[in-house]
Structure 1
Amino acid sequence: MLDTWTNKVILAKPVRRKTFILGKSVALESTTAAVMDDGTLRVITQRRADYFEGKPLTTSWKPGQWKGRESFPELVEWLRHMEADYTTAELSESA
């Protein structure tokens, strides 16, 4: 997974996540609110292969870079609101 801001590979793994399937999106398959094993919050997006040069790509960014501190439930609510027009399914929270 690549960090959107730095283009570096992220080695931290998600330990808690909530995924939204974006069936109405042209560019993205899904977006996920995640708590990583290093304690950071991240938004993880899975881009559609047919939209990005035939290759699926997973990218990530830290929401704190623009919003400040928030909790996992706040991040989930924010994503739910932001992706409402594109969401076709909301998966159960997983660890």
Structure 2
Amino acid sequence: MLDLDTNKLILSKPVRRKTFVLGKSVALLSTTVAVMDDGAIRVMTERRPEYWDGLAPLSVCFKVRPSSDGDNFAQTVQRVREFEACFITAELPELD
């Protein structure tokens, strides 16, 4: 998976994640908020293969900036839930 900010391959693995299925989106399949094994919190997005133009990667992610006021994972999940609300058709159970 490619990091959108650095354009580098991400080698860390998710240890906790929450996935939203974006069934009402034309271009995207899902968005996942994950805590990685290096402690970083990332938002990962997967494009629909039929929407793929062959130039951009199918899956991309970006690192979330740390916050000083609580659980950054929960805050990020809530922000994604609100931001993608009109596209979400399912919210999958959290995985550890």
Give the TM-score taking structure 2 as reference length. Answer: 0.89
Question: What is the RMSD computed on CA atoms of the aligned residues?
Answer: 1.6
Structure 1 segments (4+ residues) deviating >3 Å: none
Aligned equivalents of 1:79 and 1:14: distance in 2? 17
In structure 1, how many angstroms separate the alpha carbons of the residues matched to 2:22 and 2:41? 20
The one-letter amino acid of 1:82's match is F
Contact 1:49–1:56 (CA<8 Å) still a contact in 2? no
Aligned length: 92
Q: Deviations over 1:7-65 (max 9, x none)?
A: 1100000000000000000111000010000000000001111111268711100121x
Question: What TM-score comes out, normalization by structure 1 length?
Answer: 0.90
Matches within 5 A, 1:46-85: 46-53=46-53, 57-64=58-65, 68-69=66-67, 71-85=72-86
SS in 1 for 2:51: coil
Q: Which runs of 5+ in 2 are unaligned?
A: none
CA contact (8 A) 2:2 2:57 kept: no
